[in-house]
Amino acid sequence: MIVNILYTMLFFFLLTSCTSKKNKELKNMDDITPKASYTKKNSSTIVISKDSSLISYFSSFNSWQIDSVNELESKFVPDRFSPIKSKKLIIYSSSDSTQFLSWKYKDSIDAKRSFYNFLDCVEKPCRPIQLFEEKKIASSNMVIFKDETTLICLKSSKRINVKDWLVFFNLNKTSTGFDIIIEQVKNGKTKWYSSTKEKYKHLTK
């Protein structure tokens, strides 16, 4: 008899525990599996601001389809030589981006000091170069322009059209000519030029 009562109790116990209506919380696998914390849109830490007036500045040149222009906070060798003005930007177009770096100095002595030091280390790893030497000094396509008091450096994944930029600098009254222009294409060696309003001349040793 007692055994029967115990079996009956056990049966009811099992029955009630199996039919419990308690809502169990279901775990979503997406919530518990590890995820990458990378956000594609915010991957850059050096771009600090957007300025629409800069877009119109660069868009003044017809053939350029500029999407946005961002300011860079990185430091470069020419920053050490007390420029009176500097502009460090990344210009984005639909298919490409160009790094635009420019420094203006109070006189030609500062500009020269800055330029020659820049030639010792245009980018890491430093690959110092002598005047008119032909060698690789940068990983990507790069052009350096130097006039009396201004130093400009452009870098891009695509080849930089130097003549287009000369027209741009002329139009924007940045400079009508440069005593030195260094062009290096990706996987190529440097070539040296000079320019005036009328002439674009290849320079050699």
Partner 1 sequence: MILDRGYIIVEPKQQFIDWLMKHQDTEPVKLEEVEPTVYLIDDDFMDDEIVLNKSYEEIFMYELESTAVHESFWPLITIEQFKEFFNVKIGVSVYDIKSK
The contact set with partner 1 (CB under 8 A) reads 35-38, 43, 45, 134, 136, 139-141, 157-159, 183-189, 191
Cβ-based nearer residue to partner 1, 110 or 183: 183
Alpha-carbon gap, residue 54 to 102, rounded angstroms = 14
- Full DSSP string of 64-83: --EEEEEEE----GGGGG--
Nearest to 205 by CA among 132, 136, 129, 135: 132
Cβ-based nearer residue to partner 1, 111 or 143: 143
Alpha-carbon gap, residue 72 to 47, rounded angstroms = 5
Burial class (CB in 10 A: 0-12, 13-18, 19+), 178: buried
Q: How far is the CB of 183 from partner 1 (least distance, A)?
A: 8
Q: How far is the CB of 72 from partner 1 (least distance, A)?
A: 15
Q: How far is the CB of 35 from partner 1 (least distance, A)?
A: 8
Can you tell me whether residue 55 is helix, strand or coil?
Answer: helix
Q: How far is the CB of 135 from partner 1 (least distance, A)?
A: 8
